[in-house]
Amino acid sequence: MLLNVHSNYSLQYGTIGIAELVNHLIVNGYESAVLTDINNTSAALDFIRECQAKSFHGMVGAEFRNEDDLLFIAIAKNNAGFKEINEYLTKYNVSKESFPPKAPEWKDVFVVYPFRAESKDLRENEYIGIRPRELNKLYSRSKAFIDRLVILSPVTFLKSEDFELHCQLSAIKHNALLSQLKDTQKARPDEVLQPIDNIITQYKAYPKIIINTFGLLERCRFDFDFENCKNKRTFTQSRYTDRLLLEKYAVEGCYQRYGKGNKLAMERIRKELDVIDKLGFSSYFLITHDVVSYSLRRGFYHVGRGSGANSIVAYCLRITDVCPIELDLYFERFLNPKRKAPPDFDLDFSWRDRDEIFDYIFKRYDPANTALIGAMTTFQDRSIIRELGKIYGLPKREIDLMIEAPATIASDNAIARKILGTFERISDFPHNRTIHAGGILISELPLAEYCAMDLPPKGLLTTQFDMYTAEAIGFEKLDVLSQRGIGHIGEAVEIIKQNTGRVLDIHNIQAIKKDEKVAEQLKSGDSIGCFYIESPAMRGILKKLHCSDYLTLVAASSIIRPGVGSSGMMDEYIRRFHKPEDVKYLHPILKEQLSETYGVMIYQEDVLKVAHHYAGLDLAEADVLRRLMSGKNRGAHHLKDIQDKFFSKSKELGRSEDITNELWRQISSFAGYSFSKAHSASYAVESYQSLYLKAWFPNEFMVAVLNNEGGFYSRWLYVAEARKSGARVQLPCVNNSQLLTSIRGADIFLGLNMVQKLESRVIEAILADRQERGLYETLDELVERTGVSLEQVVILIRSGALRYTGKNKKTLMWLANVLFEKRNRLKNKIQNERPLLRQASMEITIPAFPVFDEEDFFDEMEFLHFSVSLSPFHMLKTSFRGDVEARDLLRYVGQTVKLVGLYVTMKPTRTKKNETMAFGTFLDANGSFFDTVHFPNCLKQYPFEKSGLYLILGKVTESFGFPTITVEKMAKLPIRPDPRFSD
């Protein structure tokens, strides 16, 4: 009966969620309905799944519009029709053209036009939809025309009050004030879901229209299999040959990884291959291996992450560098016969290489069957209030107040109450379609069988549904992600080869783990630039654990996560790590199952062990819990179900209520943050590779870090690290620098790309000309050969890039002005004469200019955002540098000290009372780090004032041998002024 139903996936238009839509259709007496969201089929399969679960006859289609102009409604007769609709949508999404007013000649699609067309123009599958309010126009129409009419009673809201919400959404979409929203930009207020009897009553004078509508619906049948895997089924010609090929690759890889005599490894490989084959995942492994093999042939560095590291087959195929035998990772965590959702591989590549990997995949596999996974942004937090405030015309100040103190402003402001009420209503509404971080689907059937595609700026077809729908309908994605940490590892290997001639096998993880120099580097916490372990918090954990081996680093990579930290178990783990003999387990089962982690849950696997062995949940229930923890399930209602089972089954087993409560407290803190052990191990492998490069080739490594946009810290800190390791850091230079930072011997030349406001075309011209005609000797030679403007010459001079001339900056500025003045006067008169500045220099006398070192500091701060020539400490007005040094802080535990620190970074956080406190990191005058804690009262009185040098007064505390200063007072110190502008 309902041919035109909108969900809230009719973005910024519809107001009804999929689940509540189906529920209300049933309550209102309907046995069938068609979901026709505007210009998309994002929610079509979610709707069908919900309908199947409730034995409701759901059908799908799409409503086609150009802007706000309704053209026609397409209804799929069957699955083939759904494919036709999706292909049509995709065609116009790709071309970016408007839809034509007439539908194409579809074979398996019904078309319903709004009531304005004549019957003579209609094809056999086409109808005209007539709304109840339009029935009075039928008196002049012929009986033949009646035969082509169907009921058109659009549904956009559940109740009439939702019309206001619809208008708010539409105003946001059109970036218009609510009061100025046009009628054409809104649905009609009567587009409310009403009982079926009401609709039949409205059309009772025209029974033929009712018969036509039911007849159309009866000819539609959409069946969908949500159980079977939709991925490409075979890599070769059959599952049998897939199995043989996968076995060949796995055995060959086993010999490379373990040698030919490792029976344990081979037994596990055989066992895994059997499971992989039985579950039909050989092709998935082979496709992933194919992508990895291509990347290795191209010399691209990659990291395989996620639960795939639990598989020895994946390890032998070089998909991952994590050895599951070494870490006692069980394959069943990745793939087992009881697992409902298929597994996935996460492959991280350098941000520079990922696009080429995408290009390979999309050209290697059928383009109709390959796409990126879409994603759906939702209205989030403050952005909802801000957007709603705009449509009511509120000034920014009032919107800011509403965000900062909603309860206060709502108490006496009706508009604010309305906005905050809407905020609660639409917080989970889909807002815009976008792209998943890196998920790719490679399908057995054309993807148009499942959805329409978008073509975002990335230029690759993208599904209109998201990863949750993909998983629900039986797809397993391949995640191809980008990471700057990988970029600097791969680039460092190349730079080392160029600068030293050494060729490194950075994938020889076993050798790297045994390297004593790497162990010392790790133990010292000197990990700046190293992936995942360079943050202040992580460096602190490394020192607290005295971490010097791989397994401890795996644990450290997990306990840093918010879930472990917020539960208080991070400190407990460190305490037990140092004194394992004093560990008291909450329950004997924890000693049996969690001895490796001293009874502390730090991995997802630990939670599964507790849920299964302590609470008696079966593996399927435990897997639901794991997926909830990893944030892969929608909604929190599943967690409540599992919580109830956890407590009830624990009680049945006679467990102590207090122990059960404490274990659940620890488990619940993991939600959304926990790592699998395999994931932590993958991160630890990458960290070890970074550490190896930093320990043995610190200068080359830091160049690679700089060229990959740094990491956790600002660029200046990585320059300082290079200096600490003995490099001679040189300012950008027209004669020596490349586009990116480069190294020759121990000299690091900062790249021309670091010079702020230096135009890319100028850099390109300089590098191309230098490559063709050699180095520059004078200023006028540079200008003549490249045609660089005076403005850009000034930038080059002040940044120090023209120091090859041997002249100071002021002299060069003076000469540049003379040169360009003469060029302007003689522009069209001088031909084939000596370079202008050489001629000019014979006619003029260059003044003597006073030169101050401090000028370089301010120039470099302006054009590099950090200084190479002078330390910020040199610029202080005071000679005081603190009464202690950072490296000696442990000698002053419990004492109040003063230090002068250069601000590095600050992390704000919230206390249990919802007050803001902060953790700070500074460098002292010797370049040593020290960390600070700023409690709420102190932070309010002595806030951070951006970057600079601070005088800090505070008490030294210590945790597991790691010192911290609890700040009592803090003040930013003044520096000497620029001598060019001082009195």
Nearest to 629 by CA among 646, 614, 652: 646
The pLDDT assigned to 139 comes to 66
Judge whether 810 and 797 are in contact, CB under 8 Å: no
Higher pLDDT, 639 or 680: 680
Q: How far apart are CA 94 and CA 798, in angstroms?
A: 48
CB atoms within 10 A of CB 83: 21
Q: How far apart are CA 224 and CA 957, in angstroms?
A: 63
The pLDDT assigned to 191 comes to 96
For residue 630, pLDDT over 80 is answered with no
For residue 939, pLDDT over 50 is answered with yes
| Beta-bridge partners for 348 | 303, 481
Q: How far apart are CA 927 and CA 931, in angstroms?
A: 13
Higher pLDDT, 350 or 744: 744
For residue 677, pLDDT over 50 is answered with yes
Q: How far apart are CA 428 and CA 378, in angstroms?
A: 6
Higher pLDDT, 362 or 626: 362
Judge whether 349 and 290 are in contact, CB under 8 Å: no
CB atoms within 10 A of CB 891: 11
Residues 6+ apart with CB under 8 A from 735: 770, 775, 776, 804
Least confident window among 143-152, 200-209, 837-846, 959-968: 837-846
In this structure, the strands spanning 57-66 and 302-305 are: unpaired
Angle between helices 484-500 and 698-707 (to 10 degrees): 130
Q: What is the DSSP letter of 976?
A: P
Structure tokens at 592: 């049996």
Q: How far apart are CA 825 and CA 842, in angstroms?
A: 18
**CB-count exposure of residue 783 (10 Å: 0-12, 13-18, 19+):** buried
Confidence band for 303, pLDDT divided at 50, 70 and 90? confident
Q: How many residues does the chain have?
A: 983
Average pLDDT over residues 608-632: 76
The pLDDT tens digits of the residues spanning 55-79 come to: 999 999 999 999 999 999 999 999 9
Residue 110, classed as helix, strand or coil, is strand
The pLDDT assigned to 839 comes to 47
Confidence band for 119, pLDDT divided at 50, 70 and 90? low
Q: How far apart are CA 345 and CA 626, in angstroms?
A: 17
Phi, psi of 583 (to 5 degrees): -65, 130
Judge whether 57 and 26 are in contact, CB under 8 Å: no
Nearest to 803 by CA among 820, 780, 779: 779
Structure tokens at 636: 């929190």
Least confident window among 134-138, 347-351, 890-894: 134-138
The pLDDT assigned to 401 comes to 79
For residue 983, pLDDT over 90 is answered with no
The pLDDT tens digits of the residues spanning 827-844 come to: 656 544 555 444 444 456
Q: How far apart are CA 606 and CA 561, in angstroms?
A: 15
The pLDDT assigned to 952 comes to 98
For residue 179, pLDDT over 60 is answered with yes
For residue 567, pLDDT over 80 is answered with no
Q: How far apart are CA 85 and CA 293, in angstroms?
A: 37
Judge whether 678 and 322 are in contact, CB under 8 Å: yes
Higher pLDDT, 637 or 178: 178
| 255, amino acid identity | Y
Average pLDDT over residues 744-761: 97
Judge whether 743 and 699 are in contact, CB under 8 Å: yes
Q: How far apart are CA 974 and CA 646, in angstroms?
A: 59
Residues 6+ apart with CB under 8 A from 119: 128, 142, 144, 145, 147, 148
Least confident window among 310-324, 474-488, 507-521, 537-551: 474-488
The pLDDT tens digits of the residues spanning 785-818 come to: 999 999 999 999 999 999 999 999 999 999 999 9
For residue 142, pLDDT over 80 is answered with no
Q: What is the 3-state secondary structure (H, E, C) of 61-97?
A: EEEEEECCEEEEEEEECCHHHHHHHHHHHHHHHHHCC
Residue 728, classed as helix, strand or coil, is strand
Residue 977, classed as helix, strand or coil, is coil
The pLDDT assigned to 842 comes to 46
For residue 155, pLDDT over 70 is answered with yes
Judge whether 63 and 40 are in contact, CB under 8 Å: no
For residue 649, pLDDT over 70 is answered with yes
Confidence band for 950, pLDDT divided at 50, 70 and 90? very high
Q: How far apart are CA 952 and CA 835, in angstroms?
A: 56
Q: How far apart are CA 432 and CA 446, in angstroms?
A: 25
Q: What is the pTM of this model?
A: 0.83
- Would the CA dihedral through 457, 461, 464, 469 be positive or negative? negative
For residue 13, pLDDT over 90 is answered with yes
Judge whether 31 and 57 are in contact, CB under 8 Å: yes
Confidence band for 627, pLDDT divided at 50, 70 and 90? low
Confidence band for 679, pLDDT divided at 50, 70 and 90? confident
The pLDDT mean for the chain works out to 90
Q: What is the DSSP letter of 311?
A: -
Structure tokens at 558: 């997990």
In this structure, the strands spanning 32-35 and 57-66 are: parallel
| Beta-bridge partners for 901 | 950
Q: How far apart are CA 138 and CA 156, in angstroms?
A: 25
The pLDDT tens digits of the residues spanning 355-381 come to: 999 999 999 999 999 999 999 988 876
Average pLDDT over residues 332-344: 67
Residues 6+ apart with CB under 8 A from 248: none
Distances (CA, A) of 115 to 2, 189, 198, 209, 253: 16, 18, 21, 13, 67
Q: How far apart are CA 556 and CA 561, in angstroms?
A: 9
Helix boundaries (H) for 850-935: 853-863
Judge whether 564 and 695 are in contact, CB under 8 Å: no
**CB-count exposure of residue 178 (10 Å: 0-12, 13-18, 19+):** middle
| 721, amino acid identity | E
For residue 566, pLDDT over 70 is answered with no
Phi-psi region at 598: left, alpha or beta (left = phi > 0; alpha = psi -120 to 50): left
Structure tokens at 151: 């009921």
Confidence band for 635, pLDDT divided at 50, 70 and 90? very low
For residue 752, pLDDT over 70 is answered with yes
Q: How far apart are CA 455 and CA 441, in angstroms?
A: 15
- Would the CA dihedral through 938, 939, 941, 945 be positive or negative? positive
First-residue to last-residue Cα distance in the chain: 85
Higher pLDDT, 827 or 328: 328
